Structure 1
Amino acid sequence: MKSKSYLILVLLSLKSFAQSQKENSKTSQDSIKKENSKTSQDSIKKEMLKEVVITASRISETFLRSPISIEQLKSADVKNMGSPSCFDALENLKGVQIITPSLGFKVINTRGFANTTNVRFAQLVDGIDNQAPHLGTPIANALGANDLDIDKIEIIPGAASALYGMNAINGLANIQTKNPFEYQGLSIQQLTGVNHVGNIDRFSPQLYTQANFRYAKALNSKIAFKINGSTTGGTDWVADNRTDLAPNSNASTNLYGTDNPAFDEVNGYGNESANRKTLTLNGKKYVVSRTGYRETDIADYNIQNYKGDVGLYFRPKKGHQLAVTYKGALINTVYQRSNRFRLEDYTLNQYAIDYQSDIFQIRTYLTQENTGKSYNMRSLAENMDRAFKSDDQWFSDYTTAYKNAINGGSNVANAHKTARELSDLGRFQPGTDAYNQKKDELVNINNWDYGAALRVKSSLFHSEGVLNWDKLFSSFFKKIDAQLLSGFDYRTYIIVPDGNYFINPVNSSKNLTYGKTGGFTQLSKDLFDKKLRLSATMRLDKADYFDLKFTPRITAVYSPKEEINFRASYQSGYRFPSIFEGFSNVNSGGVKRVGGLRIMSDGIFENSYTKASIDKFQAQVNSDINTLGLTQAQAIDKNKAIIQKNPYTYLQPEFVRSFEFGFRGVALNKSLFIDTDFYYNSYENFIAQVEASIPNTTDAALIPTSLYSKASQSRYRLWTNSKSKIYNYGGSLGLKYKYNNVFSFLGNLTYTKLDRTDDKDGLEDGFNTPKFIVNGTVITENLWRNLGASVTYRYQNKYDYVSFLVSGEVPAYWSMDAQVNYNFKKPGVTARLGGTNFLNKTYYSMLGGPSIGGLYYLSLTWNVGKI
């Protein structure tokens, strides 16, 4: 009875609160209705000619006159799209590519070179970087704003380093939230959906939920606050690609497909290169791998993410605002980089202070990361096998069983299968108590040679300031019709050494630090009666371990009429190595991943040989033994020239030059909006990885023999720079047409092409981007009374995908999203019924990741106040 009385009391309180909020906001709602009425009379003109953006130049400017490409997504528009969230809806924007390693982890990319750890694309919330420090990239929108607090999202597809510094050489997204002074009241949203429909994988249909709330209140004209919270739960998409990554390992003995004893499924772990051995069986050389485990057998696909934030806002006088905010996130999902990880009790916390006025802005924030109980699924699989039986013992048992099978009259293929079955007897089986007990042990061992734990604690401290000289000396700059903006930033990363993932090579008792300081000045000038705007930006950056770097940007916008705007720009940018690229120190299955800074990898580059040449050498030796009847010593001597010294060296910052031309305008009596662009980029010192080995001998005559056996070499994966100069180009076209104030037609086409690679050393990261991406959306906001609907079509062609987990071709795919929405005006409730990929045609957005099916949902949003 007590709980029921308490519930009734809460409901009555909410009702009373809602009525008071409606009465307080009636006047503002009436004015909003009037404004909406005006907007509907000339929507394209209102939206495009007067819309203000800030991200492109860090100053307020009209969208049409932005000097570079910029895309904008307003939260008010998302409710008319089939996407369940604002972050998902970004995939509809021109020039944007989203890859999906997990339902709880999506990655934004623009202009090529996509990967699951996209350190070339920055992601901000109200100008604050929301990356996980040790990763150097955000975990999707895990620390970002929830849908109820997002005002709009601005995306720069292209270099933005001149204004934003580190890691913005391919693009930047800035999520702008709602200010509690302007947007007050309570808003609650519940989205309930279902995925895994139609037997697309091992799951029956699974429930998906997302709950958001926002409450904001201005206590008076000087003090306001807001509170946001969000929770997401569901069952992840399944990664179960069974393509063999080593199909030709035993080609010289005609063993292919399931007969191949080195069979290595894309989403099978523990049977990779590090888990293989060349065995001599009855005079033949066979490459044999441990059995490993499929991801579907060992992965935890449960998603349970939480995030929240609170902010206090003070306006001591007109035009000034101080914001003190806290954001926190608890993450339980699948994450992907070189391997697939389970993030478990992974936390991010961020504390920020921001003071801004018309003249200046100062911002400081601290982000803290703790990987909690997370673990590496590949390391779990291979060490689960080794916990059952050591590699030496398993391969010895395999050899004995194979020979017995052959002596018993079995053919070669069946003898290999029999040998595996007998060698695996007693192996830990997923789902058993013994397996679960061993898993609990391994995921808490922080050494990937024996366990699987990911245990990292890190922090990012950042301070920056911006000064508007033209506001400080307004009369002078108004007289010369110019704007002058200057800024500085300081950032340092702090990593707590864990002994596995990171160490401090200088002092193991101290934290590892890595810092950067930079500054810029931007001058803008209007000419010819404001028809031509020129701007120039100069930036200097100094990072630890590197010399001073200079980054210029020059832009021009010509507007013969308000509705017609041509733009051109030259931009450049540096990307300094991330923490992982510079300082990693990971033991993983006999291969050590080492940061590319000299302080971490001193001596390795000079004394190592490339894995690509060693693999080719080993394969040719095996082939000559099997097909020509040579002895091992003869075959090694015959093929030793194949082995190549490592030509790469220590890390330098990556550099890009970008040229861009574009047009924005309105036509057809201002009912059609047009936005198009073309760009050309060149990259130098492209940061990538190389695998290499150091032989366990200094005797030149014995080096080939040492490199033939994995047991007599030390293997490394090193971060370095490609020797190639890399070029890519592309363009995009976006159209928006509104017909009779009822229907809106949105469409865009993006073309992205890797032009060429000088020197062709093959070391650069995969371009990993389709040539063509097409989006088309039809929206009706008021089809009948308060009923709206939309349909979105999306297509991308096939493309090559290259990563250390898997390389191959991602098939072309198309999908459709759809939704209907209804606005119940009196209770302030908006209902949306929709689906993404609603035809349930499964597809991969990248290799190594999951197969994506349909997600069907019902969303209810209740707004009280000025939300």
Structure 2
Amino acid sequence: MTRFLLTALLSLSTFILSAQSVITGTVYDEYLEPFPGATVRFNNGTTTSDFNGEFKLEIKKFPLLIQVSSVGYKTETIEITSAEDEVNVILKEALALDEIVLSASRTPERVLESPVTIERIGAKNIKRTASPNFYESLKNLKGINILDNNYNTKIVTSNRGFANTLNNRFVQLVDGAESSIPTFEYSFGNLFGLNELDVKNVEILPGAASALYGANAFNGILLMTSKNPFEDTGISVYTKSGVTVQNEGNRATYGYYDVGVRMAEKFSESFAAKVNLVYNKGEDWHATDKRNTTGQGGEIIDGFSHADNPGYDGVNVYGDEIGFNFRDIIRNLENRGVTFPDGSPIPANTYQSIDEDVNVSRVGYEEKDLNNYTTKYVTFDGALHFRPWGTDNAEIILGSKLHVSDNIIHASNRYDQRGGFMQQYKFEIKDDNYFVRAYYTDNDSGQTTDSRLAGIFVENQWKNHEDYFGQYGIAYLSAVNQGQSEQNAHAFARQVAETGRYLVGSPQYKAALENAKNTSINNGGARLRDNTGYYHVDANLNLAGIVEFADIQFGGSFRSFALDSQGEIYTDDNDVIRHRAYGLYSQVQKRFDDDRLKITGTVRYDKAKNFEGKFSPRATVSYAAGESKNHNFRLAFQTAFRNPTSQDQYLGLQLGDRVFLGTVEENLNREVSVQQLRSNPNQTVTLTGENAFYNSYTASSVEAFQNEFRSSGTINPALLEVAQVDFIKPETVQSFELGYRAAVTIGSNIFEFDMVGFYNRHQNFITTKQVFTPFYGDVNDTNSNDAVAAVAQQDILRYILRTNTDAEIDAYGFSAGFGTKILGGFDLGASYAFSDYSVDSDDLDFKPSFNTPKHQIKASLGHEKLFKNFGFAVDGRWQDEFLYQSRFIDALVEERVVLDAQLNLTIPSIKSFIKVGGTNLLGKDYVSVPGTGTIGTQYYISWTINN
């Protein structure tokens, strides 16, 4: 009996010890350095290697297979047979074309096999980049561009063109949820994105992607994926600081600070959580362009001050937009019976002696005197992850994100935003073969000031426009009567009219500016307020494992907007405006010929409140040639579309002397504008959007009419063309792609090639149309001259209407790039991109806003381990000159060469990674977007701990 009990006890002890076996292992890279952050999968559990590359596993049963992986590296499978096994794993860098992506087909596949063009970065790219942060490093990818809205806000675009800082044709998702600001419906770079410490990978589809991702994935989509707290745990911290140097505009050198923290913990096999916090503060690039223009949305012309041109309207000078033809000013004074200081009248027809081409404007104030260039933001996000069924596949996620920022926003005007706030709350349940996701996002504009309106307000508060131009005109005529030259007379008139002007920094100026910022635009001020939000739900079901003959997916989405600007942006003066959209899609993917041939067909149907439903089909074919299937050819066709944005539909915004109007039918009567007659300032009229739609002339014909009237005094109604305007509708594009990817051994090196050509045909392209509405008269009544007289008296209002063009627009181009390792581990890469477009249109007012350089070259060189723990990287970019068109200004963006570089040092003993670098090291300032700040040089040092 005793022997039996001892035997049983020993057996039980052996079982318990076996159940509690702890296996330790270490992961190394190819240089035999510790590899932190590698994912180790075993049975139904996961863990990660720490900064020293070490990991621990609690093993219940042998033998055991574990998989060790990391983004950008080949997955290694190791068998552990006993507790005494020494587990050392070496992860070798994978080919970029072998990396797994999800975005192209919503199913895992190698980049090499992707049926459409895709660009990608992962953790190793972030570590190597010479850019200050991972988001800016996207500009080094083939065919990808970045527009700088400001120091913090980068707008990702592609060489497919038709992009600007109002990037409504490009969608950005963070863990499947759109990061767009509800008011604008596009993303402000990474402001509402990811903490760099939490980035797992970033994928970009630079072409049309509506079939899978909905209406606005028109010219591309960017998908950022964060790290899962079940797989990446611990506390990580980074701190960056440095200086920004701008040579133009006499801007001082400013320091900046960027700090981020990520904390993640796996509490059990069923529950994990993470939080992220980022704080960034710096000085925006100063916008100091003083070149003369033809006005808002116009062109650059000669002159840099009122001494050069009495009608000067500087790019970054605001308040000087208020100006009139000088002949019209003098004629108006004559008609009103204004007299000289001695009481004598202005002689009849004096206006005819005035040069018909001369305009006179107010002086205005420079942007730097109106705006606060300090930029900062704080972003916090947190998520609870549940795996209630005890596997690493099915997961429930509850997440939230909060963001507060001070920024300069570049759009139709320049906006100074202080205390802007965004929030998002998300619920998601997902598995390998399905997901259901719901989230709510809204924004609070905080203290947002329109710079142009602020300048106008300060000018008008000091002296109203009628008095100013009256004084100017009388002083000019008095000087001419005394024998002064025209130039001297204008100088004297300016001096008289400017007497008593509020000086920058004076108590009167500060009070007027503060008043402008606290007065809503509805009351003539410069403050914009908005609290717009939207609800979104989307879902996807993949029948993999259920249906064997093909990969079949179904999905859909629903979004509901609530527009709430209290009448300051939208026509929602009386109530919140709500509109909704939904979409459904299905995809079938089939492989043939030993998986060499892959055919994918996708179709999507979308319907929005104010528009007819649209189908978006996509068909792709790819074929892997070669013995190792390393030569992949692909052909893709897709029809994509873009629904008009909320602003396209419901905008009702008066900025200065013009009204921006959304053009769905129900919006016309919502927009009400009370205007003062030029011919009789004591009389007002009330206009609505219907006047703009049904009782207006084209802008070009009004200009021609007024030019003739000024030059000859002849009223010629035949020159006026009645405007024909249609309600806005979705725009579409038919996109064709032909591409080739390959991994080829040349000599002793493996070269990875990727090239693609594209052709896009656009229809119903969304644009703007300018019309002038007379304050009285009927433009369609040829028996009455009232409307014509209104145009002659300049009793008219300019409307900027959101509409579609009938123009036939084609965009085409290609890009090609390669990557390889040379000379024992140096990473070398280069790419070239070409893009162009053609427009067939009789519409002289149409501006395509292609806004993309025709030629771009990019190159990079680096080494992860040039010496022990020491690496470097250099990135260079060149692009040629191109025309940038926008509602702010049309101007050339000059040719530029930009060089970035960094040196890095890994210190394993303190789990640290230190990087020292700089951008635009050649030191020549450049403009990314006309009207924004000139971009100088940035130097930085960063310290990352335990990532």
Q: What TM-score do the two structures reach when normalised by structure 1?
A: 0.91
Q: Which residue of 2 aligns with 1:682?
A: 761
Question: What do residues 622-653 of structure 1 show as CA deviations (whole Å, max 9, x unaligned)?
Answer: 3x2xxxxx3x2x2x33xx43322223311010
Structure 1 residue 358, shift from structure 2 partner: 2.2
Residue pairs, 1:561-576, within 5 angstroms: 561=626, 562-576=629-643
Matched, 1:453 2:502: no
Contact 1:195/1:205 (<8 A) preserved? yes
Residue pairs, 1:104-183, within 5 angstroms: 104-110=152-158, 111-183=160-232
160 and 34 in structure 1: CA distance in 2 versus 1, 3 angstrom threshold: closer
Q: Which residue of 1 aligns with 2:656?
A: 589
Q: Which moved more, 1:236-245 or 1:42-51?
A: 42-51
For residue 374 of structure 1, give the secondary structure of its aligned residue in structure 2.
strand
Structure 1 residue 848, shift from structure 2 partner: 1.2
240 and 272 in structure 1: CA distance in 2 versus 1, 3 angstrom threshold: same
For residue 491 of structure 2, give the secondary structure of its aligned residue in structure 1.
helix
31 and 818 in structure 1: CA distance in 2 versus 1, 3 angstrom threshold: farther
Q: Which moved more, 1:35-44 or 1:783-792?
A: 35-44
> Whole-Å Cα distance in 2 between the matches of residues 422 and 34 of structure 1?
72
> Whole-Å Cα distance in 2 between the matches of residues 386 and 786 of structure 1?
63
Contact 1:239/1:296 (<8 A) preserved? yes
Question: What do residues 164-223 of structure 1 show as CA deviations (whole Å, max 9, x unaligned)?
Answer: 1121100000011111111111111011010125x4332221001111110111001110
Matched, 1:613 2:701: yes
> Whole-Å Cα distance in 1 between the matches of residues 591 and 67 of structure 2?
35
Q: Which residue of 2 aligns with 1:287?
A: 359
Q: What TM-score do the two structures reach when normalised by structure 2?
A: 0.83
Residue pairs, 1:323-342, within 5 angstroms: 323-342=397-416
23 and 39 in structure 1: CA distance in 2 versus 1, 3 angstrom threshold: closer
Q: For 1:69, which of 107, 117, 121 is the aligned residue?
A: 117
The one-letter code of the counterpart of 1:494 is A
Structure 1 residue 254, shift from structure 2 partner: 13
Structure 1 residue 617, shift from structure 2 partner: 2.8
Structure 1 residue 163, shift from structure 2 partner: 0.5
The one-letter code of the counterpart of 1:642 is L
For residue 329 of structure 1, give the secondary structure of its aligned residue in structure 2.
strand
Matched, 1:706 2:790: yes
Contact 1:104/1:334 (<8 A) preserved? no
Q: Which residue of 2 aligns with 1:539?
A: 604
Matched, 1:53 2:123: no
Structure 1 residue 269, shift from structure 2 partner: 1.5
Q: For 1:88, which of 128, 136, 141 is the aligned residue?
A: 136
Q: Which residue of 2 aligns with 1:656?
A: 733
Matched, 1:755 2:838: yes
Paired residues, number: 821
Structure 1 residue 38, shift from structure 2 partner: 7.2
Q: For 1:673, which of 721, 746, 752 is the aligned residue?
A: 752
> Whole-Å Cα distance in 2 between the matches of residues 559 and 212 of structure 1?
43
Q: Which moved more, 1:44-53 or 1:162-171?
A: 44-53
38 and 79 in structure 1: CA distance in 2 versus 1, 3 angstrom threshold: same
Structure 1 residue 429, shift from structure 2 partner: 2.0
> Whole-Å Cα distance in 2 between the matches of residues 833 and 57 of structure 1?
38
Q: For 1:823, which of 886, 906, 931 is the aligned residue?
A: 906
Q: Which residue of 2 aligns with 1:369?
A: 443
> Whole-Å Cα distance in 2 between the matches of residues 457 and 653 of structure 1?
25
Structure 1 residue 740, shift from structure 2 partner: 4.7
Q: For 1:402, which of 476, 481, 489 is the aligned residue?
A: 476
> Whole-Å Cα distance in 2 between the matches of residues 378 and 116 of structure 1?
18
35 and 494 in structure 1: CA distance in 2 versus 1, 3 angstrom threshold: closer
> Whole-Å Cα distance in 2 between the matches of residues 35 and 593 of structure 1?
47
Structure 1 residue 395, shift from structure 2 partner: 0.7
Q: Which residue of 2 aligns with 1:196?
A: 245
Structure 1 residue 298, shift from structure 2 partner: 1.8
Structure 1 residue 24, shift from structure 2 partner: 10
> Whole-Å Cα distance in 1 between the matches of residues 199 and 365 of structure 2?
42
Structure 1 residue 279, shift from structure 2 partner: 2.0
> Whole-Å Cα distance in 2 between the matches of residues 64 and 845 of structure 1?
33
35 and 591 in structure 1: CA distance in 2 versus 1, 3 angstrom threshold: closer
Q: Which residue of 1 aligns with 2:646?
A: 579
Q: Which residue of 2 aligns with 1:554?
A: 619
Q: Which moved more, 1:766-775 or 1:273-282?
A: 273-282
Q: Which residue of 2 aligns with 1:16?
A: none
> Whole-Å Cα distance in 2 between the matches of residues 36 and 271 of structure 1?
54
Contact 2:874/2:902 (<8 A) preserved? yes
**Larger RCO, structures 1/2 (Cα 8 Å, 6+ apart):** 1
Q: Which moved more, 1:674-683 or 1:664-673?
A: 664-673
Contact 1:730/1:750 (<8 A) preserved? yes
Structure 1 residue 128, shift from structure 2 partner: 0.7
> Whole-Å Cα distance in 1 between the matches of residues 177 and 157 of structure 2?
19
Q: Which moved more, 1:612-621 or 1:718-727?
A: 612-621
Contact 1:274/1:591 (<8 A) preserved? no
Structure 1 residue 808, shift from structure 2 partner: 2.1
Q: Which residue of 1 aligns with 2:861?
A: 778
Q: Which moved more, 1:559-568 or 1:116-125?
A: 559-568
Contact 1:614/1:707 (<8 A) preserved? yes
Structure 1 residue 853, shift from structure 2 partner: 0.5
Structure 1 residue 22, shift from structure 2 partner: 5.8
> Whole-Å Cα distance in 1 between the matches of residues 882 and 492 of structure 2?
39
Contact 1:99/1:106 (<8 A) preserved? yes
For residue 201 of structure 1, give the secondary structure of its aligned residue in structure 2.
helix
Contact 1:765/1:803 (<8 A) preserved? no
The one-letter code of the counterpart of 1:297 is D
For residue 77 of structure 1, give the secondary structure of its aligned residue in structure 2.
helix
Question: What do residues 490-523 of structure 1 show as CA deviations (whole Å, max 9, x unaligned)?
Answer: 001111241221223xxx5431111101010000
254 and 573 in structure 1: CA distance in 2 versus 1, 3 angstrom threshold: closer
Matched, 1:493 2:542: no
CA RMSD of aligned residues (A): 2.7
Structure 1 residue 154, shift from structure 2 partner: 0.3
Question: What do residues 128-178 of structure 1 show as CA deviations (whole Å, max 9, x unaligned)?
Answer: 100001101112211100111111110000101111112110000001111
Contact 2:171/2:178 (<8 A) preserved? yes
Q: For 2:880, which of 774, 788, 797 is the aligned residue?
A: 797
The one-letter code of the counterpart of 1:747 is A
Question: What do residues 61-116 of structure 1 show as CA deviations (whole Å, max 9, x unaligned)?
Answer: 11110000000011321221210111100100111111112102211111101111
The one-letter code of the counterpart of 1:597 is V
Q: Which moved more, 1:508-517 or 1:381-390?
A: 508-517
The one-letter code of the counterpart of 2:141 is L
- Name the % identity: 30
> Whole-Å Cα distance in 2 between the matches of residues 447 and 35 of structure 1?
50
The one-letter code of the counterpart of 1:594 is L
> Whole-Å Cα distance in 2 between the matches of residues 835 and 23 of structure 1?
27
Question: What do residues 652-675 of structure 1 show as CA deviations (whole Å, max 9, x unaligned)?
Answer: 101111000101110116621100
Q: For 1:431, which of 505, 520, 541 is the aligned residue?
A: 505
The one-letter code of the counterpart of 1:705 is A
> Whole-Å Cα distance in 2 between the matches of residues 218 and 174 of structure 1?
25
> Whole-Å Cα distance in 2 between the matches of residues 389 and 222 of structure 1?
69
For structure 2, the residue ranges without an aligned partner over 5 or more in a row are 1-47, 58-65, 77-88, 331-349, 669-688, 779-783
Q: For 2:577, which of 474, 498, 512 is the aligned residue?
A: 512
> Whole-Å Cα distance in 2 between the matches of residues 33 and 606 of structure 1?
64
Q: Which moved more, 1:767-776 or 1:407-416?
A: 407-416
For residue 457 of structure 1, give the secondary structure of its aligned residue in structure 2.
coil
The one-letter code of the counterpart of 1:135 is F
460 and 52 in structure 1: CA distance in 2 versus 1, 3 angstrom threshold: same
For structure 1, the residue ranges without an aligned partner over 5 or more in a row are 1-19, 625-629
Larger radius of gyration: 2
For residue 90 of structure 1, give the secondary structure of its aligned residue in structure 2.
helix
> Whole-Å Cα distance in 2 between the matches of residues 736 and 657 of structure 1?
31
Name the one with the larger helix percent. 1
Contact 1:275/1:589 (<8 A) preserved? no
194 and 414 in structure 1: CA distance in 2 versus 1, 3 angstrom threshold: same
For residue 873 of structure 2, give the secondary structure of its aligned residue in structure 1.
strand
> Whole-Å Cα distance in 1 between the matches of residues 74 and 612 of structure 2?
55
> Whole-Å Cα distance in 2 between the matches of residues 564 and 736 of structure 1?
15
Contact 1:21/1:185 (<8 A) preserved? no
